[in-house]
Amino acid sequence: MVQMETVDKSGGLRPPIVNISLPSTIDDAKAALMKSDSNGNNVYDHLTDIILRVLEQQSDDAYSKFEVLSSDVKASKLAPKEELSGLQHIEEETLDLKLANTRSNLFKSLELLEGEDTTILPNEGDFPDLLEESSMFEWGGVGLGREETVRLQLSMKRLLESNPLKNVRLFGKIYGRKRDYIIVESEFKEGEGAATKEEEPKENEVKHEDSESETENAEKETPAQTTNLEIESEQRSGTNRFSYWVQSAEEGWELLPDVTPAQVVASRKIRRFFTGDLTSSVDKFPHFPGNEANLLRAVIARITAATVISPRGYYNLEEEEVDALEVPQIQVNHEFEGLDPADLLRMNNWVHHYPFILNQGRCTFFRPSQANANEDEDDENEEEIEMGPRLLTDLSEDNQIGRHDAWTAKLSSTITSKFAHVILRSNRWPGAHAFAKDDRFANLYIGFGLKYSDKPFSPELPSSIQKEAKQPQECVDPSVQEEEEIEQRTKLESEEQEGSEDEEQDESEED
Amino acid sequence: MLEIHHNSKLSKCGLHCAKLKSENALKIHQVLGHRQSRRFATMNSEDFTSKLSYAGSSGYTLNVEERASLQTSLPILKRNLKFSRVNFWGKVFGINRDYLIAQGFGSDHFGQRKSFCSHDGIDWVQLPELDSESIRLTEAIRGRLTGDPSTESFLEISLDGKIRLEEQKTPSSEANEKVVSENEDEEDEENSQKPPESDKKSNKTVIINEEKRLAYLISQIDKDTSVVPRGAFTIGSQHEVRENHSFHGLTVAQSTELAYYFHLRQPEKLPRKTLLEREGHVKIIDFADNIAEDVPHVTNVVTIRSLLWPGYFAFAVSNSPVYGSVYFGFGEKNDDIGFLL
């Protein structure tokens, strides 16, 4: 009983100081265990809860988990009981809910979304079977996942329906530091374009595009202009034949601006991770004319030119002999029946069907003198036309990377090679893949948008420091006497030449 | 709802009542308990296939054939070598062939771990342990892997200790067969370490085969990455590092902050004592802001991507104890990272 009194005085917080003896009866022991601390917790209840938890979970390793269980039980007591607090819990709009809301629109038809009065003509554009393609790529170990692909397909269909596009193709995905870009390639119908979207009359379209690119160039390329004649960007051909739509974080599609040769050239000299924000600035040396959207577009142009490939025979050149200054046209060979997997493992049975980009940043050589119509220069430049590999050049002619080939080909399956198809992986642009089975093929890029190099990157050095201007020479200040002499002399001279008009001049000299 | 109410009532009734009345609740929780015992763990041999789908946003995956073969071979590997856990680690791309990599663990996560490589996902070959000398040498080798473990890199070491890569070549078919038949014999390695006769007195040549390089790469990637969410691992009573059974996942807000992820590796930056107080985790310090608040086909999956080792992905599902990481890459460190940011 003495013990109990001490405990009461200290409020149950301090253990009794005097003469500790074990409780003699069960009731005493129970009472000792049930002593509550200031928060009203006691060992007895806690042990009860733990034992209950062990029995509930029936886990085999309850002994080893004992400490965890104990802390779990304690933690669950700390959680506020909803019915007691009287506060209403309001569900916040979480990220996944937001996503689900935007995604659910994809599954509805356009008529439903835009109201019944607007009748929308279905756009019969060319449209890939993404699911089929993705399962082919999955054999090669690449892909975005099936559910993602279905959503992407719906989203691309929506893009095709709501824009005047001839076709859409999935380019792939470029990783960003904050967000990734999903990129789709498309071709506008004849006479349609980015400009027409903004309620421009069709007649003015070409002019509008021109003026737009001019103003853009004027804004962005002022430093480059001083050094060289400006290289015109291509309109609806070469690097700008296709337009690219980008989607980041499922917020609809955004059209990327056309690429200029200067941007292609500058993008080759820098290496940069994408951030995921199209408007972020590209602060690299040498200067890149534009923001991340322009850089992305330039990198896409380079990737497609280097890695979009097809089996030999799928495309034919429309005309065998083409002018060196034009991109040759290709057409689908409808009689193409596909190549054997064994043949497709060889690089000479794959061809590039996107034109090569020259050092100039264009697919066709641009003679600056064309604009000037200077005949002398024209003659000189005739010999210096830069030529890249022809369209439909096969992959065996791709440059090697150090000791390695530019491409790695392999069969999708080693065990059941009877049904296997061939998957190619680019070593120059890590992340670029292609597959071909029967008469089908597709390309897909998933990566950082960085070209591989076997040498460490060394940025271009700043240009050499310009020579300082000559120091002005020192000379002795004229004395007052000398000044007066000069003054008098000039006065005399001017009076001799013209009498009346020289008053102003005199004043200025005196100043 | 009934369950929860029932339980809370029980807990107040004392031990005897609980024993009797909880029978009703038992069956339901048994199922839960069974699930619980399996769901913790990273990309282990039992559930790596389902985890791979979370890593879908990485763009890389295994094909059905590889999955099937790994599902067959990993449990056998685990049993034969008496591991308590076998993880699928990832895939390293080579020019000609790819390596699938698996890792076996004992009961302590920081204890011995062994790495295995395979071409087909069936036959596994243990990768050699590296001494400090060969680590120093292997570091000097750059460039792509070929996909053949016996590919040799000839390194020239000059007198002042500088290492230079001379050439890389795959041994001729005869030599190749020998290596395959002897299957990673210790003798073979020693032989390869011996410097062949060289004309120059001052410089000596050392041969490192690709197997060693692969082992080095894996240890480096492990060292620089091994990302786990905070609280997923804990220190046990024997001071062993083990998975935390009461880890329930990060909240949505937490899961998008880098500070809530840790490198699961031997402490480097902090004295060990502090570390134990901090539940055996070192904070991520090496790579900043590489979190991709990325939304793949499963909502609420947060993906973390290493910029230092392109191809390394870690994911964590918020509000659930599901997390893991995988590597699909060329096995090359991003030395240009300073220019890329």
B85, two tokens: 């856990």
Interface A–B counts its CB contacts (< 8 A) at 165
Cα-flanking dihedrals φ and ψ of residue B317, to 5°? -95, 125
Q: What CA–CA distance (Å, rounded) separates A280 from B58?
A: 23
**Is residue A91, in this structure, part of any structural domain at all?**
no
Q: Are residues A73 and A106 in the same domain?
A: no
What does the pLDDT read at residue B195? 45
Among candidate residues A425, A447, A469, the one where a domain is terminated: A447
* Option in A58, A271, A448 nearest B26 (CB): A58
* Option in B29, B310, B335 nearest A456 (CB): B335
| Residue A462 C-alpha from the chain's centroid | 27
Find the radius of gyration of the CA atoms of chain A.
38
Please indicate whether, in this complex, the C-beta atoms of A51 and B15 are within 8 angstroms of each other.
Answer: yes
A361, two tokens: 């940043």
Q: Where are the alpha helices (DSSP H) in chain B?
A: 2-12, 15-21, 23-39, 48-54, 64-80, 132-138, 173-182, 186-193, 210-224, 252-255, 272-277, 337-340
The pLDDT tens digits for A321-347 are: 666 677 788 888 888 888 888 888 888
Cβ contacts of A435 on chain B, cutoff 8 Å: none
Q: What CA–CA distance (Å, rounded) separates A445 from B184?
A: 37
- Highest mean pLDDT (candidates A21-30, A46-55, B155-164, B312-321): A46-55
Q: Are residues A62 and A120 in the same domain?
A: no
- Is there a contact between A120 and A114 (Cβ–Cβ < 8 Å)? yes
- Is there a contact between A196 and A327 (Cβ–Cβ < 8 Å)? no
Q: Answer yes or no: is pLDDT of A150 > 50.
A: yes
Q: Are residues A63 and A185 in the same domain?
A: no
Output the average pLDDT for chain A. Answer: 77
**Is residue A335, in this structure, part of any structural domain at all?**
yes
Q: Are residues A374 and A260 in the same domain?
A: yes
- Is there a contact between A209 and A235 (Cβ–Cβ < 8 Å)? yes
| Structure-model confidence comparison of residues A456 and B6, the more confident one | A456
The pLDDT tens digits for A11-57 are: 445 555 555 677 788 888 888 888 888 888 889 999 998 898 888 88
The pLDDT tens digits for A427-483 are: 999 999 999 988 889 999 999 999 988 788 888 888 888 888 888 888 888 889 989
Average pLDDT over residues A122-149: 83
Q: Are residues A250 and A155 in the same domain?
A: yes
Average pLDDT over residues A96-107: 77
CB atoms within 10 A of CB A69: 20
**Is residue A475, in this structure, part of any structural domain at all?**
no
Please indicate whether, in this complex, the C-beta atoms of B292 and A178 are within 8 angstroms of each other.
Answer: yes
Average pLDDT over residues A142-165: 85
Residues contacting A105, CB < 8 A, separation 6+? A113
Cβ contacts of A71 on chain B, cutoff 8 Å: 246
For residue B84, with 0-12 CB atoms within 10 Å meaning exposed, 13-18 middle and 19 or more buried, which class applies?
middle
Pairing assessment for the beta strands B323-329 and B85-92 based on DSSP bridges: parallel
Q: Answer yes or no: is pLDDT of A383 > 60.
A: no
Q: Are residues A352 and A392 in the same domain?
A: yes
Cβ contacts of B330 on chain A, cutoff 8 Å: 430
Mutate to test the interface with B, among A57, A248, A398, A460 (most CBs of B within 10 A): A57
Side-chain half-sphere exposure of A75, counting CA atoms within 13 A: 9
What does the pLDDT read at residue A443? 93
Domain ranges of chain B: 132-212
B222, two tokens: 């492990």
3-state secondary structure B275-294: HHHCCCCEECCCCCCCEECC
The pLDDT tens digits for A236-295 are: 788 888 999 998 766 688 999 999 999 999 999 998 888 888 899 988 888 899 999 999
Average pLDDT over residues B112-123: 89
- What is the DSSP secondary structure assignment for residue A202, as one 8-state letter? G
Sign of CA dihedral A258, A262, A264, A269: negative
Please indicate whether, in this complex, the C-beta atoms of A404 and B60 are within 8 angstroms of each other.
Answer: no
Q: What CA–CA distance (Å, rounded) separates B13 from A45?
A: 9
**Is residue A93, in this structure, part of any structural domain at all?**
no
How far lies B13's CA from each of A44, B18, B21, in Å?
A: 11, 7, 10
Nearest partner of A165 among A240, A218, A243, A228, judged by Cα: A243
Question: Structural domain of residue A157, as residue ranges?
Answer: 102-199+214-447
What does the pLDDT read at residue A324? 67
Cβ contacts of A51 on chain B, cutoff 8 Å: 15, 18
**Is residue A84, in this structure, part of any structural domain at all?**
no
Please indicate whether, in this complex, the C-beta atoms of A99 and B330 are within 8 angstroms of each other.
Answer: no
Q: What CA–CA distance (Å, rounded) separates B21 from A172?
A: 58
Q: What CA–CA distance (Å, rounded) separates A65 from A86?
A: 35
- What is the DSSP secondary structure assignment for residue B90, as one 8-state letter? E
What does the pLDDT read at residue A311? 92
**Is residue A119, in this structure, part of any structural domain at all?**
yes
Q: What CA–CA distance (Å, rounded) separates A45 from A11?
A: 19
Reported confidence tier of residue B106, pLDDT bands at 50, 70, 90 = confident
Q: Answer yes or no: is pLDDT of A153 > 50.
A: yes
**Is residue A46, in this structure, part of any structural domain at all?**
yes
Q: Are residues A145 and A66 in the same domain?
A: no
Q: Are residues A22 and A123 in the same domain?
A: no
Reported confidence tier of residue B91, pLDDT bands at 50, 70, 90 = very high
Q: Are residues A174 and A45 in the same domain?
A: no
| Structure-model confidence comparison of residues A390 and B57, the more confident one | A390
Q: Where are the alpha helices (DSSP H) in A202-358?
A: 205-220, 222-225, 261-269, 292-307, 341-344
CA dihedral A116, A122, A123, A125 (to 10 degrees): 140
B31, two tokens: 């199922």
Split into its structural domains, chain A has a count of 2
Does the CB of A365 have a partner CB in chain B at under 8 Å? no
- Is there a contact between B56 and B295 (Cβ–Cβ < 8 Å)? no
Q: What CA–CA distance (Å, rounded) separates A451 from A461?
A: 20
Does the CB of B15 have a partner CB in chain A at under 8 Å? yes
Please indicate whether, in this complex, the C-beta atoms of A144 and B300 are within 8 angstroms of each other.
Answer: no
- Which strand ranges, in their side-by-side order, compose the sheet holding B163-169? B163-169, B152-157, B204-209
B2, two tokens: 């009934």
What does the pLDDT read at residue A294? 93
What does the pLDDT read at residue A301? 93
Chain B: give the shortest CA distance to residue A46, in Å.
9
Does the CB of B290 have a partner CB in chain A at under 8 Å? yes
B26, two tokens: 């038992």
Does the CB of B66 have a partner CB in chain A at under 8 Å? yes
Q: Are residues A60 and A145 in the same domain?
A: no
A116, two tokens: 């019944």
Q: Are residues A154 and A119 in the same domain?
A: yes
What does the pLDDT read at residue A170? 92
Q: Answer yes or no: is pLDDT of A397 > 80.
A: yes
